Amino acid sequence: MAGALPGTRGSAAAEPARRAGPGSEEAPPQRSVVEYELPPAEETHEIVKIPGKPMALVSQMSNSHLVKLRLDPRTERVTGVKAFALGPKDAMLHGLAVSERHPGRIWATHEGGNRLLLVDPRADEPDAAPRVEREIAVPGGGRGPHYVNEYGDTLWVTLKGSDQVLALDHTRPERFRLFEAKPHPIFAARHPGSGDFYVSQDSASTILRIDPRSGRTTQTPVPAERGSTPVGLISGAGAVWLVLLGTEETGTGTFGRIDEDGGIAWYRLRETRGRSASLLHLAFEPQAAGRGREPVLWLLASSIVSDDARDQIIRVRFDASWNRIVEEEYAALPTQMCKAHRLLPLTNSVLATELTTFTVAQLTGARD
């Protein structure tokens, strides 16, 4: 399905981002949110950027389409949209990850087809269909590959259907290990200090820790007083970070940082609309040309479990040690109850997928 020029919905002058900082009375930053309509689909999920190319990719699970977003190299605005079938409709295309072992390629998952794909998106040809270069069947009876990421020669995959985590050598797929998890493993990330892998398990409200050397696993429950339902989980800034979604009744605006020994330091957003936020995903500020990396964490709040929750992008700035929140900024998505799903910070903007409205939102504006 083609869309040479994307349709836009919402308002370029959407509700401005709001800044919350100690004793600050300065004007709010001049930022805006626009929404780009994608080809129709019931579920729009993951998003990745092709390194060095003005293109992002989005997975649509309900029809197994991969959507190419052409980006303006200067402004990062979406200038073109085109969707391509990547397997049968019931294959349930979901996870996307950039490959370092295979430059220019991505890994993808067929959650319904129980397969891992190595895909050439053909980033230099916006109108060309992506090519599947390899397919690897999920081994050992595992089912429902959800998230995938590449660590050297190993793919780490969460298996939502069989409640397991798969570590698979993609150079020799017969070499693999399956780790038992609780319902349901969603994200996995390697700790930059210990090398252990951590996995969010949303329905169990626990964090799985895997020692990839010994194969030993341990479980850490999320303290009930902090919240529940860990979903987004990533590596960076010397730790593994996670967010809590909460329940149908409320979110708690809580996220955490896992240290090298497995201890978790918890943070809670301070502004009123942050303290009850249902946090689904998170990402770090990328390093921009001409300056060092800022201590900034982006959070995505979602209405995926509660119609009373707000869909919003939240920018959290830390002190240099990543121990204390210095500032919070909030930007509501123009289309509420869209079940905001994934975040992708670019150099000068942030993209977010909307699960149920076949839409990508973009927060733009000058950075400090």
Check whether residue 235 and residue 293 sit in a common domain: yes
Per-residue pLDDT of the chain (368 residues), as tens digits, is 334 456 655 443 344 445 555 444 555 566 799 999 999 999 999 999 999 999 999 999 999 999 999 999 999 999 999 999 999 999 999 999 999 999 999 999 999 999 999 999 999 999 999 999 999 999 999 999 999 999 999 999 999 999 999 999 999 999 999 999 999 999 999 999 999 999 999 999 999 999 999 999 999 999 999 999 999 999 999 999 999 999 999 999 999 999 999 999 999 999 999 999 999 999 998 864 334 567 999 999 999 999 999 999 999 999 999 999 999 999 999 999 999 999 999 999 999 999 999 999 999 974 44
Check whether residue 165 and residue 252 sit in a common domain: no
Domain presence at residue 234: yes
Domain presence at residue 199: no
Check whether residue 361 and residue 261 sit in a common domain: yes
Using the 3D structure, point to which of 115, 147, 180 is the last residue of a domain: 180
**307 with 331: CB under 8 angstroms?**
no
Check whether residue 174 and residue 235 sit in a common domain: no
For residue 34, the surrounding DSSP H or E stretch is: strand 31-37
**pLDDT score for 105:** 98
Return the SS3 of 57.
strand
Domain presence at residue 142: yes
98, 115, 159 from 139: Cα distances, Å: 22, 9, 11
Q: What secondary structure does DSSP assign to 134-170, as a single string?
A: EEEEPPTT---EEEEEEETTEEEEEETTTTEEEEEET
Domain presence at residue 136: yes
This prediction has a pTM of: 0.92
What CA–CA distance (Å, rounded) separates 77 from 315?
20
Check whether residue 2 and residue 140 sit in a common domain: yes
- Which amino acid, one-letter code, is at 68? K
| DSSP single-letter state for residue 293 | P
Domain presence at residue 327: yes
What CA–CA distance (Å, rounded) separates 230 from 149?
18
Check whether residue 168 and residue 291 sit in a common domain: no
Check whether residue 245 and residue 153 sit in a common domain: no
Domain presence at residue 285: yes
**312 with 303: CB under 8 angstroms?**
no
**231 with 246: CB under 8 angstroms?**
no
Domain of 125, CATH number, reads: 2.130.10.10
Check whether residue 35 and residue 172 sit in a common domain: yes
**pLDDT score for 322:** 94
**pLDDT score for 26:** 55
Q: Which residues, in sequence order, are CB contacts of 336 under 8 Å at separation 6+?
A: 303, 310, 311
**pLDDT score for 29:** 60
Using the 3D structure, point to which of 142, 161, 180 is the last residue of a domain: 180
Check whether residue 61 and residue 163 sit in a common domain: yes
Check whether residue 75 and residue 176 sit in a common domain: yes
Check whether residue 365 and residue 265 sit in a common domain: yes
In the chain, how many domains are there?
Answer: 2
**pLDDT score for 294:** 79
What CA–CA distance (Å, rounded) separates 368 from 365?
10
What CA–CA distance (Å, rounded) separates 322 from 164?
32
Domain presence at residue 325: yes
Using the 3D structure, point to which of 180, 211, 242 is the last residue of a domain: 180
Check whether residue 288 and residue 365 sit in a common domain: yes
**pLDDT score for 4:** 44
What CA–CA distance (Å, rounded) separates 220 from 343?
26
User: Closest Cα partner for 187 from 363, 45, 314, 57?
Assistant: 45
Domain presence at residue 337: yes
CA angle at residue 56 from 53 to 62, to 5 degrees?
150
Domain residues for the domain of 274 are: 230-368
